[in-house]
Amino acid sequence: MTTEHTPGPWQSFNGGAVVGTVENSGGSTYVADIRHRANGESAANARLIAAAPDMLAALERIAAITGSTGGHKSMVEEFQFLAHAAIAKARGEG
């Protein structure tokens, strides 16, 4: 599956910059620089943003496997709905 965003993993550093590794060049690129907030908010936001590729991958996996489980149907359907909504938002589809 291809993505339009900078591939993960992403890492946060310097209290608010988020970078991703660029595999073709062996270097890195800024994904976001949000070092403008006070009281550690920038660092917390950067950690959340840096986790985005991992969260997207986890949600995609959950969405894929919950359709085939024999678990409680309403709970599985709720997980699928939440996962698909988050995936669509991350991809700009919804």
The 10s digit of each residue's pLDDT in 11-45 is: 777 667 777 766 666 677 777 777 776 667 777 77
* Triad 51, 1, 61: Cα angle to 5°: 55
Phi (first) and psi of residue 86, to 5 degrees: -70, -40
- Give the pLDDT confidence score for residue 10 in this predicted structure: 78
Instruction: Please tell me the number of Cα atoms within 13 Å of 4 on its side-chain side.
Output: 4
pTM of the model: 0.63
- pLDDT above 80: residue 53: yes
The 10s digit of each residue's pLDDT in 60-88 is: 888 777 665 555 667 778 788 888 888 88
